[in-house]
């Protein structure tokens, strides 16, 4: 679903991403893990066509990133860090509007929105504004927004940052269900090591714009004789995830 080679991005003299190779297979839940400032969002924005790579190549959902960005956009969903739905709009209206922008007829848009709200345990929130929702509900509305056009590949940028532990665990269940029930491939970023461990089939660890290692959580822990991914990260980078934070 994702094959990237040598992706780089520089902003002036900041080398945000310094040669990232990635392979994500259909149906995987892959966690892109690293401290703040590691280059996660920049990589995601390149893979979703929002940012042109300085160099490197990638195919995403079967389409070439640079030659066919429209093809990529049709086939992927993207939920930005910090969310996408404005605080004052009614959730049902906003989702329906977006669905119609994807070319659905009104009746089809209504059905799609109702089905997604049902799927994400959001029945009855149509009339509410995002302001009047819990953090977990907001994140699920953002995810509904990213799924309107039935993408086979969903990118989630820090979907659980700022949520309480219970809401985070609930969101993990939803992510797993999307993969199990709809076969959606999921590529998500997180700076929570225990989240990557609990949720992801495979993790790719990035630090200072470079991939440090990748594998299943069990493989990585075994390879480093570590009990947790925190210890793996420390062994590989010489610093902890929090203290390594640049931003």
Ligand X SMILES: Nc1ncnc2c1ncn2[C@@H]1O[C@H](COP(=O)(O)OP(=O)(O)O)[C@@H](O)[C@H]1O
Q: Which residues bind ligand X (CB under 6 A)?
A: 11, 14, 16, 34, 36-42, 246-247
Q: Are 43 and 121 in contact (CB under 8 A)?
A: no
Q: How far is the CB of 116 from ligand X (least distance, A)?
A: 27
CA-based R_g, the chain, Å = 18
Residue 247 DSSP code: -
Nearer to ligand X, 37 or 77 (CB): 37
Q: Segment near Mg ion (CB under 5 A), from 36-44, 116-124, 144-152, 165-173?
A: 36-44
Q: How far is the CB of 11 from ligand X (least distance, A)?
A: 3
Q: How far is the CB of 9 from ligand X (least distance, A)?
A: 8
> Judged by CB under 5 A, which of 41, 48, 49, 185 binds Mg ion?
41
Q: Which does residue 34 touch among Mg ion, ligand X, none (CB within 5 to 8 A, set by kind)?
A: ligand X
Q: How far is the CB of 192 from Mg ion (least distance, A)?
A: 13
Nearer to ligand X, 96 or 207 (CB): 207
DSSP 185-220: EEEEEES-HHHHHHH-SEEEEEETTEEEEEE-HHHH
Nearer to ligand X, 70 or 247 (CB): 247
Report in angstroms the alpha-carbon separations of 48 from 9, 74, 98, 106, 125.
14, 10, 18, 27, 29
Please tell me the count of residues contacting Mg ion according to CB under 5 A. Answer: 3
Q: Are 135 and 57 in contact (CB under 8 A)?
A: no
Interaction mask 158-197, Mg ion, x per CB under 5 A: ----------------------------------------
Nearer to Mg ion, 70 or 247 (CB): 247
Contacts of 30 (CB under 8 A, 6+ apart): 24, 186, 187, 188, 200, 201, 202, 203, 204
DSSP 107-137: HHHHHHHHHHHHHTT-TT-TT-BGGGS-HHH
Q: Which does residue 11 touch among ligand X, Mg ion, none (CB within 5 to 8 A, set by kind)?
A: ligand X
Q: How far is the CB of 224 from ligand X (least distance, A)?
A: 22
Helix, strand, coil fractions of the chain, as percent rounded to 5: 40, 25, 35
**Interface contacts to Mg ion, rule CB under 5 A:** 40-41, 81
């Amino acid at each position: 679903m994702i094959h990237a080679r040598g992706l780089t991005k520089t902003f002036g003299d900041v080398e945000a991403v310094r040669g990232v190779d990635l392979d994500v297979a259909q149906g995987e839940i892959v966690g892109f893990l690293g401290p703040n400032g590691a280059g996660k969002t920049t990589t995601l924005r390149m893979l979703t066509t929002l940012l042109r790579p300085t160099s490197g190549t990638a195919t995403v959902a079967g389409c070439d990133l640079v030659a066919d960005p429209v093809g990529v956009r049709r086939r992927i969903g993207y939920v930005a860090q910090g969310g996408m739905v404005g605080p004052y709009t009614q959730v049902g209206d906003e989702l329906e509007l977006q669905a119609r922008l994807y070319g659905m007829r009104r009746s089809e848009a209504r059905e799609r929105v109702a089905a997604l709200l049902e799927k994400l345990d959001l029945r009855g929130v149509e009339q509410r504004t995002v302001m009047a929702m819990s953090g977990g509900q907001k994140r699920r509305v953002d995810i509904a927004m990213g799924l309107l056009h039935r993408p086979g590949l969903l990118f989630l940028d820090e979907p659980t940052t700022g949520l309480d532990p219970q809401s985070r665990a609930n969101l993990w269940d939803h992510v797993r269900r999307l993969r199990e029930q709809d076969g959606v491939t999921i590529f998500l970023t997180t700076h929570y090591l225990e989240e990557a461990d609990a949720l992801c089939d495979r993790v790719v660890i990035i630090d200072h714009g470079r991939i440090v290692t990748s594998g299943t959580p069990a493989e990585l822990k075994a390879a480093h004789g570590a009990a947790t991914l925190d210890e793996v990260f420390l062994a590989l980078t010489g610093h902890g995830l929090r203290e390594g934070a640049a931003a």
